[in-house]
Chains A and B, each alone.
Chain A
Amino acid sequence: MVAARSCGNSDCNFDEDGVCVEDQDPEICRFRSGRVMIADVEGDFPDKDEGGAAGHTEDEEGAIDREAGRDGEGDFDGIHLPSGLRLDTADCRALREVGPTRVVSILAPKDAGKTSLIAGLYGLFLDGVADGFSYSGSTTLYGLERLCHLSRAASNRTVNDMVRTRRAEGLGFYHLSIDRLGRRLGLLLADRPGETVREAAHGIQTAAALTELPSAEIIAYLIDGALLLEPATRHLAQSDAEAILETIAAAGQFAQRPRLALVLTKADRVEAAGVGQRFDQIVDALTRRFEDRFAEIVAFRTAANAEVLEVEGSVAGPATPLANAATPSLPTTDALSADTFVSDDPTADAPNGDIPEDKASKAAGLAPDAVPLGGRIGRGFGLNELMIYFLDGAAPVRAATASTSQPTRQYGSFGREGARR
């Protein structure tokens, strides 16, 4: 008689060697919890990076299971729903057929803060601080919540942390459908382990393996603010960025001339240390070097958690969930309101995704312009602007200002440069 495996991942030999191949606490690993079998996960990735014909969205897979009567449990009468975890490329293709969708590739070496950034962008909606846009759906809400777990009180942790994207997880996409200026856009945030991004500098072949890049309209390259703080690493951030971007460019991955957003993470710590100019220098250097490879290069300064509140010596975060404190004098995501700024996005008038405003305004008290309020203090900064950049596909500029020629440089609202140009 063969003993039943305790792990649903056939690649894991936990029963033999006690090692979790997922690098998880065995008590919480999703494959050992009995909820997820490796087949379920593989089912989510029918033709990973291959562009096969299966192409079912997670919704469709649920429907197929229903029709086929595969409920997976003896006495359960019902249907299994899509996992809600990250999407694969086939899922993304299906979503792009349904409506306007934009791929944003987030390139970040390990520990640069990519996961925090994605969680922070999602948090704009969850905390009700999104300004100028609003949530209209997500097929990966469960995955986004899972991503946030270690930064939540529910984890019993007392310091914000993030679940790291493990190498074994490979490429995946978080999905957010967002309404802005009467249009609806699906945003696919490409997420891959930092190790594979760093390894792009190892050669053209490894750079070519970043298969999401050709379809990305925007590349968000993350500069790890923590590296700028230390003498030993302060030059590494720029050197890494040059090596990674140069090799990827040599692999032809930027042939479509995407837009490049240089995103400083942990900017609260950088500014608190008074070394913000180091980021300026990196932006200058990268712009000079790569300006002919991208449609434009734009810089943003972000911090994804509440530490900024302490650094600034301002209002501490709300001790109670609905502490409706006055907005602290933070370099926060001050409004980029729809009527103050315009986009030079040539696709701004695209017919697809239009939302009939008359119908939208019929919802009792739910007109979109009434939505982006909230009782919470924003926990980070720079994220609202970054999201608008992702949505508009162009740097927001003041209505009175003519569009600048490309490539352009614009800064976030925090730091020596002061207000947005």
Chain B
Amino acid sequence: MTTRDLFLAGLPDAGKTTFIAALWFLVFSRQPGLALGFHSLEDVDMAYLDGLRTQWVQANKLERTKIGSERTAVINLAAPDGSILRLSLEDFAGEGFRRMWADRRVSSKIVEQARKSDRHLLLVNVGKVTYPQTADEFRRQLAGLEPGKEAPFDPRKCPTAAQVTDVLQTLLSQSVAASPAKIAVALTAWDEVAEEGKTPAAVLIERLPLLSQYLASLADRHEIRLYGLSCQGGSYDAPAERSRVLELPPLDRLSLVEDDPKAPTKDLTRMLAWLLD
């Protein structure tokens, strides 16, 4: 059995916990033809994964992971060649990554895990992007309405592209010194942009150009792939949308887009198969 640590990174609301829940549901459902299938149960407390599964199946919004309450998911996967892959995934709180940007500090746990894992999966929610909107644009948007009181600089309100790029820079810097051979960047909430028919690369360039450029610059040192990823099938904020999702078979909520936006797959393990290969 080969053990692989996958380092899962992303700001709050990136969808890390939802990804773990959906992945576990998919694998544990023993669907045939998966790139990486279910192999066996690990002899550990499964309450965490089981809890995620039950919440996810009911289309409940999963509680945000809090700092100090991080859990590790261990999933034994079977590769097509018969080998067994023990996947270990730490569900870090997104706030831990946000603090890297906003508070200029990083926890030892994140540092240790980032260094230990030579495969990184960065999740970025393309449905919740803060853009660098200018004050002039803001004025036009207000259309004569009074703005609120002038607000001090709050790094948490900076553009998403700057925050995510800086987090990735920091992980790869001498400070944290992670050196993953492969980095997958999954654009989550893909269902919100799928209708545009664009590739993940095109969506990234359009919505997060700074990150797109930075990733391109890393190509001489790391293997990088982009994915569009939907683990919920829609937003659960609107009751009508959640009801629509609940009408679907759970697996139909899943969608992974690689290069061709017209050929999504439900098999999320394809991304892991590339990442962990």
Contacts and interface: CB of A to CB of B under 8 A. Distances in A.
Interface of A: 25, 27-28, 35, 57, 59-60, 62-63, 66, 71, 76-84, 123, 125-128, 130, 134-138, 141-142, 144-146, 148-161, 177, 179, 184, 305-307, 316-319, 321-322, 324, 355-356, 359-368, 370-375, 379
Contact of B135 (A77, A146, A160): A160
Contacts of B215: 363, 366
Nearest to A369: B216
Q: For chain B, what secondary structure do more than half of its interface residues adopt (helix, strand, loop), or is it mixed?
A: helix
B174 A153 contact: no
Given A84-B166, A155-B150, A362-B219, A126 B138 contact: no
A32 B39 CA distance: 55
B136 interface: yes
Given A317-B140, A365-B199, A359 B207 contact: no
Give 9 closest A-B pairs by Cβ, nearest first.
Answer: A365-B201, A128-B209, A28-B152, A136-B217, A321-B131, A153-B138, A363-B219, A158-B139, A59-B174
Given A127-B209, A160-B136, A364 B224 contact: yes
A135 B218 CA distance: 11
Given A306-B134, A364-B259, A374-B206, 14 more contacts: A25-B152, A62-B173, A62-B174, A66-B175, A78-B108, A79-B175, A126-B159, A128-B205, A135-B165, A136-B216, A141-B162, A154-B154, A363-B215, A373-B209
Contacts, number: 231
Contacts of A138: 169
Contact of A123 (B132, B135, B200, B225): B132
B21 interface: no
B105 A79 contact: yes
15 contacts: A59-B174, A59-B175, A76-B107, A126-B132, A128-B210, A135-B165, A136-B216, A141-B165, A145-B159, A154-B151, A154-B158, A155-B151, A157-B138, A324-B206, A360-B216
A25 B151 CA distance: 11
B224 A152 contact: no
A142 B101 contact: yes
B170 A160 contact: no
Given A126-B209, A360-B216, A379 B174 contact: no
B224 A355 contact: no
A148 B147 CA distance: 18
Of the candidates B104, B165, B207, the one having the most CB atoms from chain A within 10 angstroms of its own CB is: B104
B105 A81 contact: yes
B175 A151 contact: no
B9 to A, nearest CB: 15
B107 to A, nearest CB: 4
Contacts of A370: 201, 205, 216
Contacts of B154: 154
B202 A365 contact: yes
Interface string B200-236: 1110011101101111111110011110000000000
B103 interface: yes
B111 A125 contact: no
A156 B217 contact: no
B46 to A, nearest CB: 28
B249 to A, nearest CB: 30
Contact of B134 (A151, A177, A361, A366): A151
B207 to A, nearest CB: 7
A77 B107 contact: yes
Nearest to B139: A158
A416 to B, nearest CB: 27
Contacts of A184: 217
Contact of B213 (A123, A135, A157): A135
Contact of B169 (A137, A305, A363): A137
A4 B4 CA distance: 49
